[in-house]
Amino acid sequence: MTRIAILILATSLAAGAQDKSTKKAAPPHPKPDPALVQAFGSSTGTWTCFGTTNLPKDMGGGTLKTKSKMTIRREAGGFAYSGDYTMAPNKAFPGMRGRMMWTYDPAAKKFYELAADTTGGAMRGESDGLKDGKMVWSEEGTMMGKSVKSTTTIVYKGRKALDIQFEMGDMNGADHCKKS
């Protein structure tokens, strides 16, 4: 009986040693590119924005005061960031909600964005990244059924403040945002 117990123990130890020798260390988990983290890492959280939009004549013209809120989150293990935003209704606009997603292609050294909103708007854009505290986006898509091209400039004013300026055809505006 002792011989059988020793044989079973020896076989178990040999099998355990073989399992340990054939197992390889897991490859290191990939990390997001530092450019993506630098551009968006400190932006996560909730932002409240106030600003103005200058409407084109075909939308009634004039300047509107705007109020919006955006919540930015890390997605896909930090390889992307998303933003859910709402724009409060005002006398010329019924308000809207939307979602944006931002990614980075390290081979092309470009940032990409995709956005959709409850007015049927859809945009895609790209940026060369953060330079001198600014990030400039060139975008194209549709707004209220019309093709549009736009430029959006994000000016970082520290970790808790930023300005957003945009030009879209005959419409332009600016928002001043603070992180809650």
pLDDT along the chain (180 residues), means of 10: 49 54 78 93 95 87 92 96 93 88 97 96 96 96 90 94 94 95
Instruction: Output the pLDDT for position 18.
Output: 54
Note the pLDDT of residue 40.
93
What pLDDT score was predicted for residue 152? Answer: 97
Residue-level pLDDT at 11: 54
Listed in order, strand segments (DSSP E) in the chain are 45-54, 63-75, 80-87, 96-105, 110-117, 122-127, 130-131, 134-143, 146-156, 161-168, 171-179
For residues 152 and 137, the answer to whether their CB atoms sit within 8 Å is yes
Q: What integer pLDDT is reported at residue 148 of this predicted model?
A: 92
Q: Domains in the chain, ordered, with CATH?
A: 34-179 (2.40.128.20)
pLDDT at 14: 54
